[in-house]
Amino acid sequence: MDEPVPPHAGIELDAICLPALGRESDDGDRLATEADASDHSLFVNSIFKKMMAQDSFLSFSRQVSDVNKILTMKYSSANDIADVILKDMALTSKVLKLVNSSFYRHFSTKGISTISEAMIILGTDEIRLAAASLKIYEMMSGLANADILRDKALKGLQRSIMARQIALGGGYKDADSLQISAMIYDLGEYLVALFAPDKYIQIEVIMDEGQASLQVASKSVLGLSYSDLGRLVALKLHLPENVINTMRPVTNFAVKGEEIGQANLHRYACSFTREMCDISMDMGRDHELEQTRSIAVKYKPILDIDMPMALELVKISREKMAKHSALMNIDQARGGQGKKSSGVKNIANLNAGLKLLKENLDSQLSIHEIFTNIVDIIFKSFYFSQVCISIKKKETQTMDARFAKGEMSQEFLQSFVFKLENSRDLFNSAVLKKNDSIIRSIPGEKNKRKIPQWYMDRFGKEEELSSFAVFPVFVDKKIISMIYVGWDSKAHSMNQKTIDYLRVFRELVVKTFTLHARKPVN
């Protein structure tokens, strides 16, 4: 039976026995690794270093203390709780908008104008938890600089709503800790996607090939599981101990609800919400129902949630998110209507191509051969109309197209060239700021000011290139190359998984330059 871990509040990171955290991994999985603790520590420390180097995450760390104050004031007076919320004017405004939304309006026809009034009408616990949930969602979505991170923040919010309903329906103790635990249940995965996208992609590839579960695949790549990492960070941020323990995944389903304690019941509830919110809605209603039925059967002996109740939980969570969408700036569509994602077109070709490229880096292949293979693999594996690798020309200080694949390859090889200079145009800005740039629609007013005239004259009128992205390549902090991809915005949309894959290809370009530094480009 899954048992709670011993108390560990206040223990510093360097005192934690990292190998002991991986107890939830399936022993029989062939990908489970026995990497030593120093490997784990190196990765964890690199994540913390990146967290502390990012202003938005420093803000996250500071604001977590405010969330903790809200969460731990369960038995404080309404005035004390109101004082904490009122210190954050933006949060106060959002809480009041929330309680005056259509979801709560039946409590007061006149509207609620103060936090104290909201507590009187709805109860201190409801407002305290609403404030904490809003704060965490705001922080997570604020850090989300890409679609996959926004999607994870959105799923976290949905899980929290679902967990709250489970707690209320089942009469659980500490329903607030369950809701917060459900919201940050995939914190470790979120951090890897944010700070180590190449590792995130490696884990996704392992799972796509059906070789391992999420936790074991992450452990095989990182040296510790997503769950381990998430709990370490939650511990470092001084989140409540019961929240941290509830984030532990479960593996034993041969138990019944009455046989386990409340803490373990919370863990199974969080796991249930994770599985429910991860059901793909892109494969049709029949697939969604089949997956819901399978999850309900799995958790029924433990949580006493059957198929109708599971469907009702999904319905309530989606309705509540829809009602709060304007307030929380939520885009529930998550992707263009009627568009294919620019995700992987051929996963087998992609995985085989990546494997071959990595094997060939140390071989006798020239840069020309490797880069030709890279553009070919990208073009065949994704829904792009054009792929191009440009290389900096020292003599002219220009970025010149050298390798291209697509319908306009000849035009790119002849005309895709621009001067590297201190300019605000999209291409030079990407180089100066060392940022990837993604233009999802050229006709957009904001984009027209970013895109240089030379590009508009040569390629901007081509419908199949109405969207494009550039990924600058740096070696020893010096710009040396650039990856370009273009696609038809009416037919496809860029997703984060594709962006992360392209960053993996960029790392291969960097390694190629590094290994072949003394060889001329053919």
Provide mean pLDDT across the span 39-63: 68
Q: How far is Cα 302 from Cα 251, in angstroms, rounded to an integer?
A: 13
Whether residue 406 has pLDDT greater than 80? yes
**CATH code 3.30.450.40 region(s) in the chain:** 347-515
> What percentage of the chain has pLDDT greater than the value 70?
68
Helices 89-99 and 115-122: crossing angle in degrees, nearest 10, is: 40
Q: How confident is the model over 291-334, as pLDDT tens digits? A: 999 999 999 999 999 999 999 998 888 877 766 554 555 444 44
b or e along 327-364 (b: 16 or more beta carbons within 10 Å of the residue's beta carbon)? bbebeeeebeeeeebbbbbeeeebbebbeebeeeeeee
- Distances 394 to 138, 160, 320, 481 between C-alpha atoms, Å: 45, 54, 57, 11
Q: How confident is the model over 63-100, as pLDDT tens digits? A: 555 555 555 555 556 666 666 666 666 667 767 776 66
Query: What's the predicted TM-score (pTM) here?
Result: 0.55
Q: How far is Cα 119 from Cα 99, in angstroms, rounded to an integer?
A: 10
Lowest mean pLDDT among 42-56, 332-346, 426-440: 332-346
Provide mean pLDDT across the span 341-366: 76
Quote the tokens at residue 507: 């790392």
- The residue among 274 and 204 whose pLDDT is bigger is 274
- The residue among 438 and 105 whose pLDDT is bigger is 438
**Residue 442 gets which letter from DSSP?**
T
Task: For Cα atoms 309, 312, 317, give the angle at the middle one, nearest 5 degrees.
Answer: 130
Q: How far is Cα 484 from Cα 437, in angstroms, rounded to an integer?
A: 10
Q: Which residues contact 15 (CB under 8 A, 6 or more apart)?
A: none
Q: How confident is the model over 444-496, as pLDDT tens digits? A: 656 667 888 899 888 887 877 888 999 999 988 899 999 999 988 777 777 77
Fold of the 347-515 domain: Beta-Lactamase (3.30.450)
Fold of the 52-328 domain: Hypothetical protein af1432 (1.10.3210)
Give the mean pLDDT of the chain.
75
Strand partners of residue 280: none
pLDDT band at 6 (very low <50, low <70, confident <90, very high): very low
Whether residue 394 has pLDDT greater than 70? yes
Q: How confident is the model over 239-288, as pLDDT tens digits? A: 778 888 888 888 888 888 778 888 889 999 999 999 998 887 655 677 78
Provide mean pLDDT across the span 177-200: 83
pLDDT band at 114 (very low <50, low <70, confident <90, very high): confident
**CATH code 1.10.3210.10 region(s) in the chain:** 52-328
Q: How far is Cα 253 from Cα 300, in angstroms, rounded to an integer?
A: 10
- Residue 34 has a pLDDT of 35
